[in-house]
Amino acid sequence: MSSGQYDFTFYETDSGAIVPLRVQPETLAASFDGTANVGATGPATAGYPSAQVSGSRRGLGIFARYITVAWTTAPDDYDDRGIVKITVPVKATFDAIAKNSTVTYLGGTGRVVNTFPEEIR
């Protein structure tokens, strides 16, 4: 993942609440077997904190669901042996992702290594 400017979008929790989410622009440009990785439709549900995409999942909060991807063809400036983490804001999109399915990201292609469900503490 690159550093720099963030996009502000929304995240749909497993229970259907809509919460704010801050991600890198390339996160929303990823696609999974041709399905675009888009943000959830807002506005945010009152009374919920933002979803978290980085840091420890041991604390309190909403920890967004994500997948990990191994490169088959890495984009420029990426190590083809690396693993990339991609947040998936919409539950239906996440539910449709299968292990070993194709991912396009930053002009590269990869395969899904694992899926990690949302955690709320």
For the chain, which residues make up each domain, given as ranges?
Answer: 7-120
| 52/66 Cα distance (integer angstroms) | 11
Please report how many Cα atoms fall inside a 13 Å half-sphere around the Cα of residue 70, on the Cβ side.
6
| 100/54 Cα distance (integer angstroms) | 24
- What's the whole-model pTM score? 0.92
Using alpha carbons, select from 23, 84, 70, 28 the residue that is nearest to residue 51: 23
Question: Contact, 34 vs 22, CB < 8 A?
Answer: no
Say what the pLDDT of residue 55 is. Answer: 84
Q: What is the mean pLDDT of each run of 10 residues along the chain (121 residues)?
A: 79 97 95 96 95 90 97 93 96 97 96 97 89
